Every structure is written in structure tokens, then in C-alpha cells.
Amino acid sequence: MNGLVIEKPLPTADGDSQAFWEGLRSGRLLLQHCADCGHVQYYQQRICRQCQSDNLQLKPASGKGTIHSYSVVYRAPGPAFKDDVPYAVLLVDLEEGPRMVSSLVGKDFDALDFDAPLTLKIIQINDEVSLPCFELAINELHSS
Amino acid sequence: MRNSRSLRGQVAIVGVGQSPSGRVPGRSPLDLTADATLKALADANMNKSAIDGVLTGNAFASSFHRFSIALSEYLNIQPSYSNTLQVSGATAGAAVNTAAAAIHAGLAETVLLACGDSLLTGMTPDMAIRAMTESRDQQYEMPFGIPVANTFAMTAHRHMKEYGTTAEQFAQVAVTFREHARRTPGAQKTEPISIEDVLHSKMVTTPYHKLDCSLISDGAVALILTSAEKAKEYTQHPVYILGGGEYYSHEHIFLMPTLTQTGAVESSKKAYQMAGITANDIDVAGIYDCFTGTVIMMLEDLGFCKKGEGGAFVESGEITYGGKIPTNTHGGMLSYAHPGIPAAWFHFAEVVRQLRGACGERQVAGAELGLVHTLGAGFSTQASTVLGTENTL
């Protein structure tokens, strides 16, 4: 080997996102709700993207969502992801409205479909970082 | 009434040059870019002292943060107007539009646009990782293993769901551009491929197989732009900039307003309006082809066919000779070369040569009006440019 340490890119919180990553560490996916216009946003920033108010409140997401689109990755985008392939990346529409990028827990790719229901599963990566991933909500699919 | 603040016919491309491209080991991005520049100067019968502006994009395989300044030093040019632009794949179109505006506004008289990189043979592991991880947000995208290729894959996948676009239709784009590359000297990939070959090539990220994905290459292109008044001093066949438009709709893929319709709708509308034309008037196109599905979506958004009909449009032969809009006649990034940010400069070089009537056996007969559309970063960045011959002024 060339001695290069190949680690996955992990998030480093900034002033906009500190509470978000702290929330995930304590098991909650926090969304920003604008108290002025009602807009809900996933990507954390100081101001509301709809009305630019700074009157934002953090509330935990229900953890329910659906698949807007997805791709199963067979060729790793760099050495850090070689052990993970194949894996599925998801565009998730959260019940509260916002869309987010995530990845599927597990490898049940045949069960993936557009609009399929998902359930949040927060995965602890290390002491600092937990990532909001999703599982297929198979039972719910069958009962509905 | 024509908008008085229009670029139409004010500026022309008078020189085009390319370095060797494909696999070009042992040559730095600056060397390749200087090589292309010297060829563009020779093409324009121009001395480098005429250049007072330099615009470039950055090179991944180079450590310079100000590539335009480093290039100027390499060529021993001291410009009075310079910048290194970064709007990913749309940098080429943005650079042409911006240079034309600068010339029209008097900031410069003659601008060198040049871009080169050695993605295939010049990248150290450090550089490759930097290129990979810097492409998307470190907090909200990259931790999930989603660099830029997967953003394009998810838009294409959604297009299949909404419009019934098929893997065979995607594959047809790769097959068509490979046929085009076979007629182009210097193309990186020239062996014929079939739809079956594309579908049986390794899956990279669904729905894209290896042959749905563009190449990795070394190479550089240079263009020289000057005012319409000066253009005839350098060439008998200036290619005029008739219209430019850009659009920047989002940074994160999850904030793209609609996955299957892009800012190319807005960027091309602005470019067509400035040029006083519609998509139907265009004879030849260069369309950024990082993936096969990208081209299908762009044919719709640029107005060559209706939304959702891009797959059938490609399947019925409309993007090759004899079709409605011969596209990427050099072979594009799928078969000619994809050295990263410089890739779309090749589309400009090809459309300029088509409008000069200099393409030999791959000439589109009677081409007078051309469109180059460049884009990047998961459809975040979009730049359209309409080019035309003297007859179109």
C-alpha cells in the first residue's frame, strides 16, 4: 500500500449545523421549522430559505419518509467506499416535507422502489458522528 | 425591440487549439494548456502580445489555486483581465459568455479561454481523493457515499420512472456518439459498440453501466475571442457569439426543484432570446454528456423535443447526421475525451469547426447556427451559448 490513510469523509459541524449533529448523537433527526411562515427545512442554516426569517425552531422528525429516487452503487466512488459496495443511496422525501440524501441500511435492493415507505435508522459511526440512514418499512407496506 | 444590453454579434471566436488528448502521460496540466494555446494562436495567425485577457477553469491535477494566473506566467503573458472560474462542468459556457461580456464592455479586447487537466495520468492519490470528496457537500451528501455521479444517476432513474425512458434509449446515446468518434482524429475510444455492449458493461451506479459513463482523460483546449471589429484581422471565418444564458438552481441535489427538469430550460431560453432564434433553427449542437441520460434530459430542456420524449427522440436517430439535431459530432465526453473541467471546451472547439465548415467527413452540411450547452454538479450549473456564422448576423 502507499501508506495513505483512506478514511470516509465524515461531517464536521459548523455554526449552522452544530445542533443538527448533536441531535443525531442523541438519537433525533432535527428539522428546522420556521415560526413565521411554517416552512420546514432539512439543510440547516441561520435563516428560513422561504422567508429569510431567523425565527427557526428545531423539532425532531417523525422518521417516516418515502423514496423519491435511488441508485445502487456498484463501483465505489473512491477507496474509502470499496468495502461498502454495493450499497444504495436514496433521495428521501420526509413526512414533514423536506427531501434529503441518505443511504439504505442493508442490501435488500430488490425491494427498493419509487415511493416505497422508509423508516429512519440512526447509525452511530464513532463518538462524534451518527448518520441518519433509512430502512425499508416493509411491514407497513404490506399492511397498507 | 432588441434588448440594447445584448451580446449578439459583438464578439467572435477566432482561434481554436487542442493539445493531444486521451492518454497523454508525462505532461502537466499547464503544459497541455499552453500547448493548446499556442495552437489556437497559430490558428488565429495571432501573436500572443494581442491577448489582454485570460479565463480558465481549475485543474485537479495541478496545485495552483489561480490557474489563469499560473497559465499566464507559463506563457509569459501579463493580462489586464483574468479569472479562474468554478461552476463545475458549466465553466466552459460560463467562460465564453463572461469573456464575451468583458470584451463587449471594454474590460479586454482579446481573451484567451483555456483549460487543461490530466485526470487520467497526472493524479496522485491525494489529488484523486480531493477531487472525489470536494465534489459534494461534506456534511449532507458525501458521508452517504454520494459523489456527483450518483446525483446524475438518481435524476436519470427518476426520469425512467416518470416518462418510461429505457436503458436501451440511454445506451443509444453512447452508441451514437461512439459512431461519431470513429470519424474524429484523436478520439480516445473508436471501437464500435452496440446497445447490447452498453447494457452488458459493468453496472456502475444504477441505472448507469460503465458505457453510459463518460471517459477519464488528459487534454486541453484553447479558444481565442475578440471583438467583431477585430475578428476579420485574424480569420476569414469568425464564429460569432449570438446569445448566452446561464442558470444556477441549487447546490445540493436534495434541493433541486424538480429532478427531471433542469435549469437548462431557463439558460437556453435566455440564450435563444438574445440570439433571436428558437431551438428549431439550430443546425448542430454540443451538449455536455457526462452520462447518457444527461443528454436525453437536455434534449428536452433545450427545446429539441418535448418533455419525456428525449428517449424516443434519440432512438429514432435525431441526434446524428440526417436527424433533427446532430449532436457531439466529435464523440463527446462519452467517446472523444473527458479531462474534467476542460471537457466542455472540446464541445466548443467542435461546434466552431462545424460552423467554419472544417469538419471534413463529419461535417454537418450547411451548418450556420450552433448551440453549446454545458452543465455540472448534478444539474446545479447550466450555461448555454448560441454561435453563428457571418450569415446569421
Q: A140 and A103 in one domain?
A: yes
Q: A91 and A28 in one domain?
A: no
Question: Is A119 within 8 Å of chain B by CB?
Answer: no
How many CB atoms neighbour CB A129 within 10 A? 17
The DSSP-derived string for B128-139 is HHHHHHTTS-TT
Question: Is B51 within 8 Å of chain A by CB?
Answer: no
- What the block records as the C-alpha cell of B211 is 458505457
Structural domain containing residue B359: 11-124+215-392
| Residue B49: inside a domain | yes
Structural domain containing residue A78: 62-144
CB atoms B138 and A9 under 8 Å: yes
SS3 at position A33? strand
How many CB atoms neighbour CB A126 within 10 A? 7
Q: A96 and A50 in one domain?
A: no
| Residue B45: inside a domain | yes
Looking at the structure of chain A, the number of domains it has is 2
| Residue A27: inside a domain | yes
Per-residue model confidence as pLDDT tens digits over B226-242: 999 999 999 999 999 99
Q: A112 and A140 in one domain?
A: yes
- Best of A6, A44, A90, A91 to disrupt the B interface by mutation (most B CBs within 10 Å)? A91
Q: A49 and A70 in one domain?
A: no
What residues of A are in contact with residue B133 (Cβ under 8 Å)? 9, 78
| Residue A6: inside a domain | no
CB B207 within 8 A of CB B157: yes
- Residue B1: pLDDT band by 50, 70, 90 thresholds? very low
User: What pLDDT, on the 0 to 100 scale, is given for residue B60?
Assistant: 92
Q: A128 and A70 in one domain?
A: yes
| Residue A5: inside a domain | no
Instruction: Provide ipTM, 2 decimals.
Output: 0.94
A23/A13 Cα distance (integer angstroms): 12
Q: Who's near B148: CB < 8 A, 6+ residues apart?
A: B88, B135, B136, B377, B378
| Residue A114: inside a domain | yes
Q: A99 and A28 in one domain?
A: no
Q: Which residue has the cell 422528525?
A: A61
* CATH number of the CATH domain containing A71: 2.40.50.840
Query: How much is the pTM?
Result: 0.96
Looking at the structure of chain B, the number of domains it has is 1
- What the block records as the C-alpha cell of B260 is 427531471
Q: A141 and A76 in one domain?
A: yes
CB atoms A91 and B150 under 8 Å: no
CA–CA min distance A2, chain B (Å):
9
| Residue B110: inside a domain | yes
Per-residue model confidence as pLDDT tens digits over B111-136: 999 999 999 999 887 777 667 666 78
| Residue A106: inside a domain | yes
Question: Is A13 within 8 Å of chain B by CB?
Answer: yes
How many CB atoms neighbour CB B168 within 10 A? 15
Q: A25 and A83 in one domain?
A: no
Q: A131 and A75 in one domain?
A: yes
Q: A81 and A49 in one domain?
A: no
Question: Is B257 within 8 Å of chain A by CB?
Answer: no
Question: Is B144 within 8 Å of chain A by CB?
Answer: yes
CB atoms A73 and B205 under 8 Å: yes
CB atoms A11 and B139 under 8 Å: yes
| Residue B198: inside a domain | no
| Residue A66: inside a domain | yes
What residues of B are in contact with residue A4 (Cβ under 8 Å)? 125-126, 129
CA A35 from chain centre, in angstroms, equals: 23
Per-residue model confidence as pLDDT tens digits over B155-175: 999 999 999 999 999 999 999
| Residue A26: inside a domain | yes
| Residue A29: inside a domain | yes
Question: Is A72 within 8 Å of chain B by CB?
Answer: yes
Q: What is the pLDDT along chain A (144 residues), one digit of tens a residue?
A: 344 556 788 899 999 999 999 999 999 999 999 999 999 999 999 999 999 999 999 999 999 999 999 999 999 887 888 899 999 999 999 999 999 999 999 999 999 999 999 999 999 999 999 999 999 997 554 544
CB atoms A9 and B142 under 8 Å: yes
Q: A77 and A98 in one domain?
A: yes
Q: Which of residues 77-116 of B touch A (CB under 8 A)?
A: none
